[in-house]
Amino acid sequence: MPVSLAGGAIAVAGVAVALRGSRRELDERTALLAGLTAAFVFGAQMLNFPVAGGTSGHLLGGALAAILVGPWTGLLCVSVVLAVQALLFADGGLSALGVNIVLMAIVTVIVGYGVFRGLLRVLPKTRPSAVAASFAGALVSVPASAATFVLLYAVGGTADVPLGTVLSAMLGVHVLIGIGEALITAVTVSSVLAVRPDLVYGARDLARPLELRTSPVETS
Amino acid sequence: MGAGHAHRLYVPGASPVHRLAPQCKLVALLAFVTAVVATPRERMWAFAAYAVLLAAVAAVARIGPGLIARRALIELPFVTFALLLPFVAHGERVSVLGVAVSQDGLWGAWNILAKGTLGVVGSILLAATTEPRALLLGAERLRVPAQLVQIAAFMLRYLDVVAGELARMRVALAARGFEARDVRATRVLARSLGALFLRTYERGERVHLAMLARGYDGRMPATGAVAATPGQWGTAAVLPAAAALVAAAAWMGG
């Protein structure tokens, strides 16, 4: 209970900061792109893929949304997805919404986008390196989210479960889920980059500005 | 393009619950869930009382128990997690049906199951009696930041588009003998998702341009009166008030 309250407080603060930050990222199309990304993450979250031993994982989408629409708007997207899922589809539970936003929106966006930008700074500015960076960002974001869950559980868990067991079990499964997440993120980013590079916020500086070439035309 | 007018989750009706202003229902649900979560897990009778309250709301709204049960199936993954707790948790052991399980874990499982189920049923009732569009208007009335409402509006609008494209892709995959068996299937799924994003975006862009051409300026025009009367707030307050009484009673005594 105190954990869900604290989670709620952190979530509200995070969303408030993101609301201010996203004004810088928004142009007239971004609300549309943000809504579409949210719908996309929502749809993709329904697609469960089998991992190992009967458990299955689904896309968290934090890293993907951050790379596509920018970290602030991406955070808003995933938060909206989680809120709508909790309210309308009764998935995840209303009381856990704060914790869910912290885990699946704030942690994945910060870690995923942080790794992505950090790698882009060192890698050569090409499309393959943007794809590789998005792979790494998504891969790291999932175990980071799981580790945060274990941390929260250690602080406020109601049942006395050995921490080491939980941590190793969670991390083991989530590294596998992370590979799935990373593949999906990287392939999505790569196919969008190939067709509509203008839609990938995280790789804007890769786009070469268009040059205006003029050639004299013979007039008679 | 018949989509978007009604939603799969919405059950049309004209009951008092359906007619209640959406913002009242939202606040009532949040207050109810807060009361449920704040209740000590040892007070089993309190959770029974909450269940009776929800059953009363469902009866007034004419939402059948079968529909609620079917939609509550979404909770299943959490149930499996909860059922595992008594076996992995430490602490004092008690014997249930001849199997020694952790007492602490048993309470933990009960806690998750009872509170989770009540919250899930509350959300199901909200979704069944309120159109998503009305819910967005209600959120706007409650001064949820416009950016969030706008993202949510676009999301709900395009959800059917994404779901339709996804369904067509799934049929196409199945027709070609694809089945997600293990991690190697991720490659195919990832490609499909990349294509799905592009297809949906380009379709969404066309819809957006059409909306702009019809004078869209960032918010949907409100067609009906959305202000809630004090009477409506009063009606909506019945559920959380009763829940608060139960919670208070649970805290005071046994």
Does pLDDT of A22 surpass 60? yes
Q: Which of A17, A26, A36, A142 to mutate to test the interface with B (most CBs of B within 10 A)?
A: A36
Q: Where are the alpha helices (DSSP H) in chain B?
A: 16-19, 22-38, 44-61, 65-72, 76-88, 103-129, 132-141, 146-175, 186-213, 230-252
Question: Per-residue pLDDT tens for B127-136?
Answer: 888 877 778 8
Integer CA distances (angstroms), A27 to A31, A68, A157, B218, in order? 8, 14, 43, 12
Q: What's the distance, Cα to Cα, between the start and end of chain B in Å? A: 56
Find the CB nearest B155 among A39, A157, A158.
A39
Chain B residues closer than 8 Å to A91 by CB: 74
Q: Which of A150-164, B62-76, B112-126 has the lowest mean pLDDT?
A: A150-164
Please tell me the distance in Å from B43's CA to the nearest CA on chain A.
Answer: 16
User: Which of A69, A78, A68 is CA-nearest to residue A107?
Assistant: A78
Residue B199's closest chain A neighbor by CA?
Answer: A192
Go through B154-191 and write b for each residue having 16 or more CB atoms within 10 A of its CB, e for each that does not: bbbbbbbbbbebbeebeeebeeeeeebeebebbeebbb
Put simply, the answer to whether A42 touches B155 (Cβ < 8 Å) is: yes
Q: Which of A115-119, B122-126, B144-148 has the highest mean pLDDT?
A: A115-119
Partners of A50 in beta bridges: A56
Contact map slice: A 21-60 vs B, CB within 8 A: 22, 26, 29, 31-36, 38-40, 42-44, 47, 49-52
CA distance A135 to A179: 8
* Per-residue confidence band for B107, with pLDDT thresholds at 50, 70 and 90: confident
A residues 83..142 contacting B (CB < 8 A) = 83-84, 86-91, 93-95
B213-236 b/e (C-beta count within 10 Å ≥ 16 → b) = eeeeeeebeeeeeeebeeebeebb
Mean pLDDT throughout A11-25? Answer: 75
CATH of domain A2-205: 1.10.1760.20
Q: Name every chain A residue with its beta carbon within 8 A of the beta carbon of B85.
A: 159, 161
| pLDDT interval class at A13 (50, 70, 90) | confident
Which residue on chain A is closest to B109 by alpha carbon?
A159
CB contact under 8 A, B200 and A39: yes
DSSP assignment of B39-50 equals: S-TT-HHHHHHH
Sequence ranges of the domains in chain A: 2-205
Binned at pLDDT 50, 70 and 90, residue A49 comes out as low
Q: What is the pLDDT of residue A58?
A: 62
Measure CB to CB from residue A159 to each of B78, B108, B148 and give the nearest one.
B108
Query: What average pLDDT does range B18-28 have in this prediction?
Result: 82
- In A, minimum Cα distance to B116 occurs at A93
User: Given a cut of 60, is residue B1 above it in pLDDT?
Assistant: no
Residue A15 with chain B: CB contacts under 8 Å: 148
- Residue B69 C-alpha from the chain's centroid: 14
Looking at this protein, which amino acid is placed at residue A208? R
Q: What is the mean pLDDT of chain A?
A: 75
The reply to whether A158 touches chain B by the CB within 8 Å rule is: yes
pLDDT, position A156: 65
Are residues B124 and B57 in contact, defined by beta-carbon separation less than 8 angstroms?
no
Mean pLDDT of A41-69: 67
